[in-house]
Amino acid sequence: MKIKYELIKNDGGARLGKLRTNYGTYDTPMFMPVGTLANVKMLTPEELKAVNSAVILSNTYHLWLRPGEDIVAKAGGLHKFMNYDGPILTDSGGFQVFSLAKNKNKDITEEGVHFKSHIDGKPLFLTPELSIQIQNKLDSDIAMSFDECIPYPATYEYTKESTERTLRWAKRGKDVFNNEKQSLFGIVQGGAFEDLRKFSAVETVKMDFDGYSIGGTSVGEDKETMYNMIDWAIKYLPEDKPRYLMGVGDPVDLFEGVLRGVDMFDCVLPTRIARHSNAFTSHGKINLRNLKYREDFTPIEESCDCYTCKHYTKAYLRHLFVASEGLGGRLLSIHNIRFLIRIMENIRKAIEEDRFLEYKDEFLKEYLD
């Protein structure tokens, strides 16, 4: 079955909704943890469930290279392979081509993108059709159209050309798409230009996808530009389909995204910073390696309900990081993911009670203090 989005209510631009999937129905807006290589680094599916995760994201490019989509298919699909019985979204590989391939090692043609493997430098060629075929085999619940993630800044001319090509790629991918249980999202590009964002949104919606992503953000642009990119596109997206802002997980941006009508977010931020000893708190990020936590026998946050905060002190976590013990990153990943998911829970409650803006102000005041 395809996913189904139901808009429950609005609070200003913010949307409270329900996303029905093959693996249960979940409330939106939601934050999706990233499991790049068929696992959220260090964590088990049970731990993801324990922090109330819903959809998780996995990366088509990475799984294409290792272990290869055919092995995942033979395992019975990504859910069985990685033992996760919740919904999974796969990206298209477009962002990895953008971020992992150096410019000189990347050649974008109408047909697809020639680039080199980040593992061994082997020449690779990814096309819109191949990206979809890989995702069909991975059997995720939600697949993404193959797009070019446009760098920032880029000229109007290049952005227009690329945005038009991404539309042709979306069509090509949709034409070969072949998995009845899987949903397919279109991706709005258009760079930092209002008319191109509108053009991309309108044309992508015409193709009638199961949901829409806003792509090409978090590529070095300032916050104001990023929020503009959302605003310029989102008003042309249909009310009855989910909207997904790709690669965004900074707490401030979650609020700004929800404010503008975004339903889904993903980011490696909570797990990546965790491995570098950084913890989210309601007063901003802290680095647990800091000497001042040496004898701090309190949890990261007294008010946090995560496994880590219920059982471990900052002094212990600091010790694990200073001694390079992997358990530190594991425990902190749990806390950081839970932190973002708890924000989304509170956001949903606030929308329900028509006080999203108040909660946003309240949270950000404390967080940015």
Which residues have a catalytic role annotated?
A: 91, 266
Cα angle value 329/63/132 (rounded, 5°): 135
Question: Which one of the spans 68-76, 109-117, 184-192, 347-355 is the region binding a copy of itself (CB under 8 A)?
Answer: 68-76
- Considering only residues 38-67, where is the footprint of a copy of itself by CB under 8 A? 38-39, 41-44, 62, 66-67
Written as one string, the DSSP assignment of 226-282 is: HHHHHHHHHTTS-TTS-EEETT---HHHHHHHHHTT--EEEESHHHHHHHTTEEEET
Is there binding between residue 314 and a copy of itself (CB under 8 A)? no
Stretch that binds a copy of itself, among 90-98, 143-151, 213-221, 328-336 (CB under 8 A): 328-336
> β-strand 30-33 against 264-267: which pairing, if any?
parallel
- Per CB under 8 A, which region of 22-30, 76-84, 87-95, 240-248 contacts a copy of itself? 76-84
Residue type, 280: F
Binding status of residue 85 toward a copy of itself by CB under 8 A: no
Q: How buried is residue 217: exposed, middle or buried, by Cβ count under 10 Å (0-12/13-18/19+)?
A: buried
Enumerate residues 6+ apart whose C-beta is below 8 A from 160. 193, 196
**Do the beta carbons of residue 26 and residue 264 sit within 8 Å?**
no
Site size toward a copy of itself (CB under 8 A) is: 36
Residues 316, 230: contact at Cβ < 8 Å?
Answer: no
Query: Of residues 105, 287, 313, 346, which one binds a copy of itself by CB under 8 A?
Result: 313
Q: Which is nearer to a copy of itself, 150 or 337 (CB)?
A: 337
Binding a copy of itself by CB under 8 A: which of 104, 157, 291, 323? 323
Among residues 5, 153, 22, the alpha carbon closest in space to that of 87 is found at: 22
Please report how close the Cβ of residue 289 comes to a copy of itself at its closest, in angstroms: 12
Q: Which of 37, 108, 176, 205 binds a copy of itself (CB under 8 A)?
A: 37
How many helices, marked H, and strands, marked E, lie in the chain?
15, 16
Q: Which is nearer to a copy of itself, 181 or 311 (CB)?
A: 311
d(CA 307, CA 177): 41
Does the protein bind a copy of itself through residue 295 (CB under 8 A)?
Answer: yes
Question: Interface with a copy of itself by CB under 8 A: which residues?
Answer: 37-39, 41-44, 62, 66-67, 71, 74-76, 81-83, 294-295, 297, 311-313, 315-316, 318-320, 322-323, 325-327, 329-331
